[in-house]
Amino acid sequence: MGKGDKKSKRGKIALGTYGNSRKKKTIKARLKRSASKKKVAAGTKEKTKRTSKKA
């Protein structure tokens, strides 16, 4: 069960394919969620920076 195994998650990543152990929809959804969290976090940091400059 390594990079050469077509049935394992690590093997799918190495080959760049998708399947039962590495579903494309779930990966896309996870990336979308993490990107939106980063945007929200970046937005709150900018707001705090702006308020600190005014004070």
DSSP summary character for residue 6? T
Give the model's confidence band at 52: pLDDT under 50 very low, under 70 low, under 90 confident, else very high. Answer: low
pTM comes to: 0.46
10 vs 19: CA distance, rounded Å = 12
Residues 6+ apart with CB under 8 A from 7: 19, 21
pLDDT at 14: 92
Q: Work out the mean pLDDT of the chain and round it to a whole number.
A: 80
Q: How far is it between the farthest Cα atoms of the chain? A: 59
Amino acid (1-letter code) at residue 14: A
Over residues 33-54, the mean pLDDT reads: 70
pLDDT at 50: 57
Quick: pLDDT tens for 10-35.
999 899 998 888 899 988 999 898 88
